[in-house]
Structure 1
């Protein structure tokens, strides 16, 4: 048994956890009281980095409990307007910025435009959709590790321009000039294609904000980005969560991408999100 496997086995024993798939996802069967106590926070953080996604089935957090649990995992990151819980919904009554959330139907990392992307994020299901609406997660640590040495060397030092306007074009490919200018005003950032984490591990930085690879033609750039996304989102690296009301799912935003599966936009689907501050920039 390898050292990493031994560590994971020990963590899973302590957390009453079990693998959901070989390369991504663990179900944690601790009680709500155990989770809120903070006694298992360090173990949960360690298992989260190893597995990418942790599922707490039908834990039924209230908003206050979800925020309190999030605070045990890391430094709590409130929303722009200061609220602790964010409504993930395409219902305008529940989220006036529903159009912005349409990009969540495509693979992405939260906060690529920030100096430090979000660390961990937690979603809790409140209202199920009438159809669809599962959430996909892919492990960008595991997908990087599985690349050939030749491919790793090929992409090691590539840098990519990311922008919010690129992500919005996925669902609105023909914006007005005014709309496009508003999106472009949000700026662009240059990021490495391979994130060299301070832990020594590496992960791929992809998603719908990835616009172009510097120094490559448009065709070469598209082939690199689309090809790596296709690689990273293979079935072996992906866990799909089929929601039940009361479920909570936490993911390592620094080592996974995620997306919502299509669903009826007028069905009232509602999840509540909390998150922690990122602890390192993308380097």
Structure 2
């Protein structure tokens, strides 16, 4: 008589308000048997770390597909190389400089991606090149009732070109126009999700709060970013070869922490297609 053994998700929390490590084997992850549990944990914790799981490129894509619809960024459907090294990434290394500042991906799109999966092939030297994460669900939950009422109805213009001034304060006009051509979008400062949970929509693409004086707008945007990136809401992952990290792009900000572009740091990224449009 055969005995069917049910695969169970094995995890441990990294910090009280953000992050969990998933400790299942590669085979268990690729089977898809615990994909639903992984997705539930991702929404609850914001960031999931799979220490030294050592997926091949094909396995990373296969694992991504167990969790939802794979959203390839390349014409041939392969993983994306994430590096600031212009020799390895000539087409987007310049644009990726904005990734060194807190942001949410896809703020100009109708439907932002659900999640990103990043694996480490070549880490930067110790002490550099971590990836930081901020749980904007938890940051919203810990606001006072008065703050929730103040921010709940505000709208913010998000524009990728706004992030340019973080790393190049005096850009040439041609570069400004090129970034502006990417587009922009008005989004709620507080996103009420279909689940009923609420998260803050922040980051370096924030240009200004609508219908608010510019000095007050700056105080709101930068004050809330400062709040959401407090230690209790954030986790900084120090990469080891073979690590995989998933983050919920709909309720988590992220940033690459500084590293020497010539050090060889190389990450491979896959994405899950978005399933929920921005709230109106």
Deviation per CA, 1:216-240: give whole Å up to 9, x if none: 1110000000000001000000011
Counterpart-to-counterpart distance in 1, 2:181 and 2:110 = 17
Deviation per CA, 1:137-176: give whole Å up to 9, x if none: 0100000000000000000000000001001221111111
The 5 A counterparts of 1:119-268 are 119-131=114-126, 132-268=128-264
Number of aligned residues: 271
- Structure 1 counterpart of 2:104: 109
Task: Indicate yes or no: 2:91 matched with 1:91.
Answer: no
Counterpart-to-counterpart distance in 2, 1:242 and 1:53 = 14
Cα deviation for residue 82 of structure 1 reads 4.6
TM-score normalised by L of structure 2 = 0.95
Name structure 1 gaps, 5 residues minimum. 1-12
Counterpart-to-counterpart distance in 2, 1:130 and 1:234 = 25
Counterpart-to-counterpart distance in 1, 2:77 and 2:84 = 18
**C-alpha RMSD of the superposition:** 1.1
Counterpart-to-counterpart distance in 2, 1:178 and 1:120 = 32
Counterpart-to-counterpart distance in 2, 1:82 and 1:276 = 16
Counterpart-to-counterpart distance in 1, 2:240 and 2:185 = 37
Counterpart-to-counterpart distance in 2, 1:42 and 1:78 = 21
Deviation per CA, 1:104-142: give whole Å up to 9, x if none: 110000111111111011000001113400111010000
- Structure 2 counterpart of 1:27: 21
